[in-house]
């Protein structure tokens, strides 16, 4: 499977010329343009409407009236452990991606005593069409946040902590120093706890990534989220090959000490064949662990769900991923990147 070439970082961008066609794409409501003989998708969006014009597409699952299939039904959160953790996390002025991204598993995970901490505030500098995290100009800068996260990990008695962040393209190192601080703090306060980090792409820069990998997190996770074709619609400001290279560089820098992991969603208009092809690209970039889950539309202003994949289709995706050589695969309608993260690791990583 050959890898498409991409201009080096910092190289001047070529102007798009020879635009021969531009028409609405009925699949996702975006505009399909033919540029230089190659078709690409384009969608514009505002902060109030991250799904752009695709949010108004009629050939998708309606947001309000459609009933979700039974395999997507989960109990509403509210158990005693959930309420206790919510109070503890709120009292330390911490954020979790469980709440910010409206994760459907928040009740189950918090009842198990697990949570995914989100550092560097709750305002993201990018505007992905599927994501419920706020976008705008961040103002959060708390040098004591890593210590507070580590203290919470210790109080919760976690054996496997997951730490993620919003994109912070406004910072000189894109937030890498905060990840370094969290890893060091958890190592000091909870030395028996494995640390999994779910990072942005650091704009593809090697130095911020090297700072993070130098701390030897047990798992380095960076989600590619969707197939390459849908990046202009779902992940404007990001590039699939840049994300894939980040994962490959992380493995090259960390070696056997660091497990690489990535995740994708279905329900944005991809095909089964595109998913398997994307799995192959990730394997070429030395990704070891894979998660696949169903996209659920957070609001009517976000990208629509094209369809709900059946559990049997997730089983087929899992089988295809294992055949490509992934060491651990979690594929299911409610699977999320950090869902049962402590259980979805290669056996040798769990033993270490």
Edge-to-edge strand ranges of the sheet holding 194-198: 95-96, 116-119, 160-165, 194-198, 219-221, 259-266, 289-294, 328-331
Of 173, 147, 112, nearest to 342 by C-alpha is 112
**Quick one: pLDDT at residue 217?**
97
Per-residue DSSP letters for 112-175?
Answer: TT--EEEES-SEESS--TT--SEES------TTHHHHHHHHHHHHT-SEEEEEE---TTSTTTT
- Rounded to two decimals, what is the model's pTM? 0.77
pLDDT along the chain (352 residues), means of 10: 48 40 43 47 51 57 70 71 71 67 64 77 80 80 91 87 90 95 97 94 95 97 95 87 97 97 96 98 98 90 91 98 97 84 64 52
The token pair at 98 is: 């469980």
Report how far apart, in Å, the C-alpha atoms of 216 and of each of 175, 183, 260 are: 17, 8, 12
- Res 190: pLDDT: 94
Q: Are 329 and 315 in contact (CB under 8 A)?
A: no
Nearest to 259 by CA among 247, 242, 269, 267: 247
Predicted local confidence at residue 162, as pLDDT:
92
């Amino acid at each position: 499977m050959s890898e498409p070439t991409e201009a080096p970082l910092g190289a001047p961008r070529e102007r798009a010329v020879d635009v021969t066609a531009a028409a609405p794409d009925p699949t996702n409501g975006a505009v399909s343009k033919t540029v230089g003989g190659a078709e690409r998708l384009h969608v514009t969006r505002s902060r109030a409407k991250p799904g752009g014009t695709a949010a108004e597409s009629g050939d998708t699952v309606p947001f309000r009236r459609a009933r979700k299939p039974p395999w997507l039904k989960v109990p509403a959160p509210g158990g005693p452990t959930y309420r206790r953790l919510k109070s503890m996390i709120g009292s330390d002025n911490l954020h979790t991606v469980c709440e910010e991204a409206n994760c459907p598993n928040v009740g189950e995970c918090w009842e198990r005593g697990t949570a995914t901490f989100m550092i560097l505030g709750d305002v993201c500098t990018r505007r992905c069409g599927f994501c419920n995290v706020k976008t705008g100009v961040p103002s959060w800068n708390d040098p004591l946040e890593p210590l507070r996260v580590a203290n919470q990990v210790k109080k919760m008695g976690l054996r496997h902590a997951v730490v993620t962040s919003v994109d912070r393209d406004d910072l000189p190192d894109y937030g890498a120093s905060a990840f370094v601080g969290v890893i060091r703090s958890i190592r000091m306060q909870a030395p028996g706890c494995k640390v999994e980090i779910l990072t942005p792409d650091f704009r593809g820069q090697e130095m911020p990534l090297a700072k993070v990998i130098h701390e030897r997190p047990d798992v380095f996770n960076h989600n590619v989220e969707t197939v390459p074709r849908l990046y202009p619609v779902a992940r404007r400001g990001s590039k699939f090959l840049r994300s894939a290279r980040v994962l490959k560089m992380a493995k090259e820098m960390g070696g056997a000490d660091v497990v690489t992991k990535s995740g994708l969603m279905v329900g944005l208009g991809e095909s089964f064949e595109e998913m398997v092809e994307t799995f192959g690209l990730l394997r070429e970039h030395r990704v070891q662990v894979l998660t696949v889950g169903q996209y659920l539309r957070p609001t009517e202003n976000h990208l629509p769900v094209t369809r709900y994949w059946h559990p049997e289709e997730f089983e087929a995706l899992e089988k295809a991923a294992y055949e490509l050589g992934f060491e651990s695969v979690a594929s299911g309608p409610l699977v999320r990147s950090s869902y049962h993260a402590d259980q979805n690791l290669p056996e040798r990583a769990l033993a270490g």
